[in-house]
A and B are shown apart, each in its own frame.
Chain A
């Protein structure tokens, strides 16, 4: 039961992440200003950390979230638990680095980036919880993906 709840929470978080990243990707390619109450979205979105060798970070995030959703929907068993945890952790570490740059180098806050960082933090917690819970419970329930 707990695993099913964690699975659903992870899926919901990843879907919200897809929506946030899709919006930021759209904003990037449309060349428009994101809706922003923190005032720093434009600065962050046009900073040198907003792309990696020409690939917008928003697009990388979108693919990352889609990969998490896909791992949760398409994989089963340990593969699902391990891959979703690995992807979430990579996303969490990278978003932590970007948040650090936002706060201490760019010195501007982009609410959408913060939202994504929070989603990835929660995703990392939930998927790691699943990983360690399934390790300790040996339950087959953990493998059915809800």
Chain B
């Protein structure tokens, strides 16, 4: 490294500048890192004493809308949108908490659209635990309540936060009979929807979550290419099918 160079000459001004540069670099990098780590929307997931978030909001969004298993909305709705999501995926949470309430209020509550939730588990074991727990809630026709509440309280990916205690708190918040659901979620039957969702996602070429397919109820469905934060894009797709 020193080949061809004369030994360093003392240069006070330059040394001060280099020290300043290092200080600026360290401060800016530290700010970036703090901002990144502070973006964890939720630490409540691992704190069993923290109040459950979103209980009121979940009830407000879903109360009065029929549910059966993993479907939300009237079965006579002319349009169906199938969502493929991973419980641990932050973008799925963003969609669920910001865009979905608008769509549910305007299209599902009014009987125009029916939604179906298909759990994918590519992020890790916590995803499967959560998906099984969601399916078990679906046995009591409360899967959407459980799922929405889950997203409100989502923790850090792959941190092992989806514990029995965490699920039980969500069950309580969603009004699910926990002892019945817990008995079901460890059975092989609770994994069937995951396998079905994985197979069906492959059929539609779905490789990321959340992804959506939409079409007239009963099919055929086509993949919806929209920005998840853009409720208007979803609405346009629904409106085109409702014409």
- Is B14's CB within 8 Å of the partner chain A? yes
User: What are the interface flags for B1-31 relative to A under an 8 Å C-beta threshold, 1 for contact and 0 otherwise?
Assistant: 1001111110100110110011011101100
Chain B interface, number of residues (Cβ within 8 angstroms): 42
Q: Do A85 and B21 touch across chains, with their CB atoms under 8 A apart?
A: yes
Distance in angstroms between the alpha carbons of A105 and B33 in the assembled complex:
15
- Is A63's CB within 8 Å of the partner chain B? no
Q: Do B35 and A86 touch across chains, with their CB atoms under 8 A apart?
A: no
- Is B202's CB within 8 Å of the partner chain A? no
Shortest distance from the beta carbon of B150 to any chain A beta carbon, whole Å: 15
- Is B67's CB within 8 Å of the partner chain A? no
Distance in angstroms between the alpha carbons of A27 and B36 in the assembled complex:
21
Residues from chain B with Cβ under 8 Å of A53 in the complex: 35, 39
Given A82-B17, A82-B21, is A136 in contact with B9 using a C-beta cutoff of 8 Å? yes
- Is B165's CB within 8 Å of the partner chain A? no
- Is B123's CB within 8 Å of the partner chain A? yes
Task: Specify which of B18, B28, B36, B89 lies most central, judged by the most chain A CB atoms within 10 Å of its CB.
Answer: B36
Distance in angstroms between the alpha carbons of A138 and B24 in the assembled complex:
24
Shortest distance from the beta carbon of A104 to any chain B beta carbon, whole Å: 10
Shortest distance from the beta carbon of A8 to any chain B beta carbon, whole Å: 17
Shortest distance from the beta carbon of B26 to any chain A beta carbon, whole Å: 8
- Is A90's CB within 8 Å of the partner chain B? yes
Q: Do A32 and B208 touch across chains, with their CB atoms under 8 A apart?
A: yes
Shortest distance from the beta carbon of A15 to any chain B beta carbon, whole Å: 22
- Is B163's CB within 8 Å of the partner chain A? no
Q: Do A90 and B25 touch across chains, with their CB atoms under 8 A apart?
A: yes
Q: Do A42 and B208 touch across chains, with their CB atoms under 8 A apart?
A: yes
- Is B91's CB within 8 Å of the partner chain A? yes
List the B residue with the shortest CB-CB distance to A39.
B122
Chain A interface, number of residues (Cβ within 8 angstroms): 36
Shortest distance from the beta carbon of B96 to any chain A beta carbon, whole Å: 14
The A interface, classified by DSSP as helix, strand, loop or mixed, is helix
Shortest distance from the beta carbon of A88 to any chain B beta carbon, whole Å: 9
List the A residue with the shortest CB-CB distance to B89.
A46
Q: Do B25 and A106 touch across chains, with their CB atoms under 8 A apart?
A: no
Q: Do A97 and B157 touch across chains, with their CB atoms under 8 A apart?
A: no
Residues of A44-96 whose CB lies within 8 A of B:
46-49, 51-53, 57, 78, 82, 85-86, 89-90, 93-94
Residues from chain A with Cβ under 8 Å of B122 in the complex: 42-43
Distance in angstroms between the alpha carbons of A137 and B91 in the assembled complex:
51
Given A2-B4, A42-B207, A136-B5, is A31 in contact with B90 using a C-beta cutoff of 8 Å? no
Residues from chain B with Cβ under 8 Å of A107 in the complex: 124, 158
List the B residue with the shortest CB-CB distance to A97.
B33
- Is A131's CB within 8 Å of the partner chain B? yes
Q: Do B227 and A31 touch across chains, with their CB atoms under 8 A apart?
A: yes
Given A46-B208, A52-B35, A93-B29, is A105 in contact with B158 using a C-beta cutoff of 8 Å? yes
15 further A-B contacts with Cβ under 8 Å, apart from A48-B157, A90-B28, A105-B158, are A31-B227, A31-B228, A33-B207, A42-B122, A46-B208, A51-B39, A52-B36, A52-B39, A90-B25, A90-B32, A94-B36, A131-B18, A135-B11, A136-B7, A137-B5
12 contacts between A and B (CB under 8 A): A1-B4, A43-B123, A46-B208, A48-B90, A51-B39, A82-B21, A94-B29, A98-B36, A129-B1, A135-B8, A135-B15, A138-B9
Q: Which residues of B contact A (CB under 8 A)?
A: 1, 4-9, 11, 14-15, 17-18, 21-22, 24-26, 28-29, 32-33, 35-36, 39-41, 89-91, 122-124, 156-159, 207-209, 225, 227-228
